[in-house]
Structure 1
Amino acid sequence: MSLLKMKRKMQANRPAFRRFLTKLEKNPPKKLDNMAVEIDKVVWGETDCLACANCCKTMTPTFTNTDIKRISAHLEMTEDAFKKKWLKKDRAGDWINTKQPCQFLNLKDNKCSIYEVRPKDCSGFPHHTRRHMVDYMHVFKQNIEYCPATFRLVERMMEKVNGGEGETKA
């Protein structure tokens, strides 16, 4: 599914997706985490992040102090120089990118120039198989709009939990 098609489908079905995720959050089915792991494997068999990179183009990771130390050393910069050049603090006081798309994304091939030392937030994205999925439902509610893999995962979970009922509009 193309990113444009996913966005259109998401817009048409936003209320249904939100209701479903809220329902899961309030009353999770037994073995929800196992279901997410199972569906996640299928979803990643169909998803090519390098064909998309929407997360890097439209979102920013939070940079932990450990991330800043590791990345600045890799770039042979001081931590202060790295922060001054690339980062700012958000309302919550977290370090985030100053601009989008991410400064480390090569737009020609969608590859990350610091992939080996990328922020923990990036390496774990989109956080599908975190244990106790219910604790990360707020993340799914956000990422479903940006990540085709998350969109597909939630769409398939809806089909499985609802037994085919309440499927999304095309």
Structure 2
Amino acid sequence: MQPVNLRSFKQKVRYHQAAFKRFLKKLAKNPPRGLDPLAAKIDKEVWQETDCISCANCCKVMTPTFTNKDINRIAAHFDMKPAEFKDKWLFYDKKSKDWMNTTQPCQFLDLKSNMCSIYEVRPADCAGFPHLAKKKMVDYVHVHQQNIQYCPATYKMVEKLMAYTDAK
């Protein structure tokens, strides 16, 4: 497994992003037969090639959404009341109706090690990111369209999906 070179990754994204988005849009409109098993297969391949800890770009440039369950769990971890936790680290986005981090990179990311300081109790959104192997892949295409610019694993998944579907 190679460490992620974020500079190189960002250059590849700039070069291929439009083609990837067109491909995903087409995929959403007309998903090929066997898409979900193919996505599961590719998911396994991608994680053998992707070193998340060498990257942590999601934690550096994105914010998870925090559910009430997440807030209660993480606040308890810090021995705080949920309201205190929200006041200290989160803001409420009225448009999306989500609780999110006030800062980027994430306040829980150790920038020296790229490790999450609350990994055991991290938000469900973080635990599921980048949502590659969901049961109905076609329902997550819009998420992948967004994440290809942030996540090397998503980028690789879309790249492999294009190769597999073009080969047919």
Q: Which TM-score band applies after superposition, normalised by the shorter structure?
A: over 0.9
Letter in structure 2 aligned against 1:100: Q
Q: Does 1:59 align with 2:62?
A: yes
Q: Does 1:89 align with 2:92?
A: yes
Q: Does 1:19 align with 2:22?
A: yes
Deviation at residue 12 of structure 1 after TM alignment: 1.1
Structure 1 stretches of at least 4 aligned residues deviating more than 3 Å after TM superposition: none
Alignment match, 2:49: 46
Deviation at residue 15 of structure 1 after TM alignment: 1.4
Alignment match, 2:113: 109
Alignment match, 1:80: 83
CA contact (8 A) 2:43 2:157 kept: yes
CA contact (8 A) 2:36 2:137 kept: yes
Residue identity over aligned pairs, in percent, reads 59
Unaligned runs of 5+ in 1: 165-170
Alignment match, 1:155: 159
Letter in structure 2 aligned against 1:18: K
CA contact (8 A) 2:17 2:148 kept: no
> What SS does the aligned partner of 2:133 have?
coil
Alignment match, 2:74: 71
Aligned to 1:30, which of 19, 28, 33?
Answer: 33
Letter in structure 1 aligned against 2:28: E
Deviation at residue 163 of structure 1 after TM alignment: 1.7
Unaligned runs of 5+ in 2: none
Which whole-Å CA distance do the structure 2 matches of 1:140 and 1:12 have between them?
A: 17
Q: Does 1:100 align with 2:104?
A: yes
Tell me how large the CA RMSD over aligned residues is.
Answer: 1.1
Q: CA offsets per residue over residues 30-62 of structure 1, 9 Å max, x none?
A: 111111110111110011111000000000000
TM-score normalized by the length of structure 1:
0.94
Alignment match, 1:167: none
